[in-house]
Amino acid sequence: MKKKVTILLSVIAMGFGINANAQAVSEGNIMIDAYYGYPNFGKTFTKSLNGIDGIKTTGIGPMGARAEYMVADKFGIGVDFIYNSINATGTIDSLAADGQTVVETYKITTFMQRYRPQIRMNYHFTANDQLDAYFGVGVGANVRRIGVRTDYPGYDIPKVSGALIPVSMRIALGMRYFFTDNIGANLELGLGGPFLSGGLSIKF
């Protein structure tokens, strides 16, 4: 992970010293990014599932899509949609009156889904015809859904989400590298969403 982050920062830093006439993006361009990120911090919510044995977790994301419109050669505005989910499966025992004897064992599955739609603003600081490096900030909503499926009669899952803040924020340092005039790859390092993400970019 440290090696990947170092490479990302090194490549982005190169943009400050490039003075080519052409630039990868300019006023009027539209960019669409699809990306997948790491890690899925949502998996930590399974630690509070008391009384569930043999927990196995699976997850999706963080993943998402961004769209950006260049209002000037160095400034863009757009939207970012971030999604991640986690499922935890295990078993829960029904105990006899002595609190120790297992009467029956039931299956239980809990899930958490998180959505973060945000408005983004990016400052682009490169002037290379292939590399587009930028600093971005985003703000938007923070929505989380938690549910449970089980055949245990009358089982009530404890609260695992706590008090939610309905607002999400993100700061990021990223880059796009265009292999052709319209198609490239994206890489982004940030807080308030995926720590590290990468994917495909399309420019119009």
**Is the distance from CB of 177 to CB of 7 less than 8 angstroms?**
no
Residue 157 maps to which CATH number?
2.40.160.20
140 compared with 108, residue with greater pLDDT: 140
Of 2-16, 57-71, 104-118, 152-166, give the range with the top mean pLDDT: 57-71
Of 10-14, 38-42, 149-153, 196-200, the least confident: 10-14
Query: Residue 98: what are its φ and ψ, rounded to 5°?
Result: -75, -10
> What is the average pLDDT score of the chain?
82
pLDDT score recorded for residue 28: 94
Q: Give the pairing of strands 131-141 and 102-124.
A: antiparallel
CB atoms under 10 Å from CB of 160, counted, come to 17
Higher-confidence position of 12 and 117? 117
Number of folded domains that form the chain? 1
User: Where does residue 181 fall: left (phi above 0), alpha (psi -120 to 50 degrees), or beta otherwise?
Assistant: alpha
Q: Cβ-count burial of 159 within 10 angstroms (0-12 exposed, 13-18 middle, 19+ buried)?
A: exposed
Percent of the chain surpassing pLDDT 90? 48
The three-point CA angle 160-94-152 to 5° equals 60
- In the chain, what's the furthest Cα-to-Cα distance? 80
**What pLDDT was estimated at residue 19?**
43
| Greater pLDDT, 50 or 152 | 152
Instruction: Determine the pLDDT at residue 90.
Output: 82
State pLDDT tens for residues 92-124: 777 777 767 777 788 888 888 889 999 999 999
Q: Containing domain of residue 134, as a range?
A: 2-203
Structure-token pair, residue 150: 């089980």
Strand (E) or helix (H) holding 22: none
- Of the candidates 167, 203, 172, the residue with the CA atom closest to the CA atom of residue 67: 203
Element (H, E) at 65: strand 53-70
Chain-centroid distance, C-alpha 64: 7
pLDDT band per the 50, 70, 90 thresholds, residue 23: confident
Give pTM, 2 decimals. 0.77
Instruction: Check if the beta carbon of residue 106 is closer than 8 Å to that of residue 136.
Output: no
The lowest-confidence range among 5-19, 49-63, 115-129 is: 5-19
